[in-house]
Amino acid sequence: MTTQLSESPELYSIHITLPENPLKNLNCYVLKTLERNLVIDTGFNRPECREALLTGLAELGVALDRTDLFLTHLHSDHIGLAELFAVNGSTIYMNPVDYDYFCAIKRGEVWGYMEDLFVSEGFPADELELQLTGNQGRRYAPNGIFPITPVEDGQELRVGDVVLRCVTVPGHTPGQTLLYLPQPQFLFSADHILFDITPNISVWKGVEGSLASYLESLKKIEALPVKRTFPAHRKEGKELYRRIRELRDHHDWRLEEMLQAVKQHPDSTAFGVAGHVKWSARGQALEQFPPHHKWFAMGETLAHLYHLEAQGRVERRKEEGLYRYWAR
């Protein structure tokens, strides 16, 4: 299913279904010009997404050999089908920070480290295997490494007569990069700003302060004049600046909630803290979550606890192989 979003520039979205995923769909954006086309993000490496992408491109009369690809960040629902473009000789633009992290994942250098970290933060070791089945990011990643053309913050890309500017917004991933059209002030907000769900902020190997980076990156977008915002999931957002304030408030409130949980349950592990805060999954308690939801909840809890630790509001100590938290 395709939708025309604008006539000048000629811009469309393709609705890419994400089966059994709470995100529901990916908005793949297609910019058409007389010379070349640009696709932004692809969907997972699974048949349903491939079918939706190829059908959408055919409907729009977009041939892969006249089309380049921009990848906003390393999550598999965004880069899963990049190899389709690589074999057609398209230029694939991506921020090198996210690309290097993706390559490290493919070389097997990341997941073992994250699993050890999560277990040392209290995640039940016997559920590590179980969470793999439901973890679509791990199941539907690209098959291998593909070549990219690196982009950096502030860099301008030209597609036909359209100028796009790269805006790097670390937080949701270490090197997420958005595209901004100074004329007519359109922003592709990827997973940095979503409108009816809250972007997940987690922890990363070798990256400090994801939440602090995310909050900084919100300010960066707040300073940008934007007339229309095209997020990577769900519906187009109407009120960007109000949404930025809501997202900031959400994290302030979440930090406070976690701080109170640590105060009331001193000596808890991060997994213990996650069990004492509210989750939106139909009012379920953490213990009832499927294992891969526990994994995501754990990432979110750690991002907030590490932020509280950096602010000097909680303390983290390792005792007999497990990290435990106290309020200061």
Distance CA 37, CA 66 (A): 6
Query: Which C-beta is closer to Zn ion: that of 121 or that of 191?
Result: 191
> Tokens for 201?
């902020």
Rounded least distance, CB 127 to Zn ion, Å: 23
Between CA 148 and CA 245 the distance in angstroms is 34
Amino acid at 100: D
Q: Report, in Å, the least distance between residue 184 CB and Zn ion.
A: 26
Residue 27: other Cβ atoms inside 10 A = 22
Residues 115-134 that bind Zn ion (CB under 5 A): none
Whether residue 9 contacts residue 107, with contact meaning beta carbons closer than 8 Å, is answered with no
Q: Judged by CB under 5 A, does residue 75 bind Zn ion?
A: yes
Cβ closest to Zn ion, residue 32 vs residue 75: 75
| Half-sphere exposure (Cβ direction) of 143: Cα atoms closer than 13 Å | 5
User: Which CB, 46 or 75, lies closer to Zn ion?
Assistant: 75
User: Token digits for 20?
Assistant: 């059994």
Q: How far is the CB of 259 from Zn ion (least distance, A)?
A: 27
Closer CB to Zn ion, residue 98 or residue 191?
A: 191
191 binds Zn ion (CB under 5 A): yes
Number of H helices, E strands in the chain: 11, 14
Site for Zn ion in 248-287 (CB under 5 A): none
Binding window for Zn ion (CB under 5 A); candidates: 73-81, 118-126, 222-230, 254-262: 73-81
The site for Zn ion, by CB under 5 A, has a size of 2
- Binding positions for Zn ion, rule: CB under 5 A: 75, 191
